[in-house]
Amino acid sequence: MSEEITLDGIGVAPGVLETIAQISAQSVDGVAHIVTSGSGLAGLVPKGAARGVIVEIGEDGALTASIHISALYGRPLREVATDVQRAVTDALLTHTGQAVASVDVFVDGVVFPEQ
């Protein structure tokens, strides 16, 4: 998102929606951290993959988000991903009033406790 977006007549600076989604995802029990960079094929990173959170607004005004996380070992990954989806959906809806069409969660790794 490089351009200002308009939500119900209010301009929102680029990155604001990603910040809302990132903070809400990080607050979920079982999320170790948001993955902020990818290695890609032969070290090449596709556009947007360097960010761990991408939020876009569709033509219909609904928001879509994709979030890359590393999960903590010991909690079922499906539960962590579902909780992230709920947290991000609730946060975006609460802060913007816009419908959320989808929140895609990608578990890119698992962090094991240190012994």
Q: Mean per-residue pLDDT for 62-73?
A: 95
Q: Are strands 5-7 and 10-12 parallel, antiparallel or unpaired?
A: antiparallel
Tokens of 71: 């999960």
3-state secondary structure of 58: coil
Domain tally, the chain: 1
The beta-strand segments (E) located in the chain are 5-7, 10-12, 31-34, 53-57, 63-72, 100-111
Residue 79, domain CATH: 3.30.70.1350
| Band of pLDDT at residue 48, cut at 50, 70 and 90 | very low
Domain range spanning residue 97?
5-39+48-111
Would you say 102 and 67 are in contact if contact means Cβ atoms under 8 Å apart? no
pLDDT of residue 1: 43
pLDDT of residue 13: 74
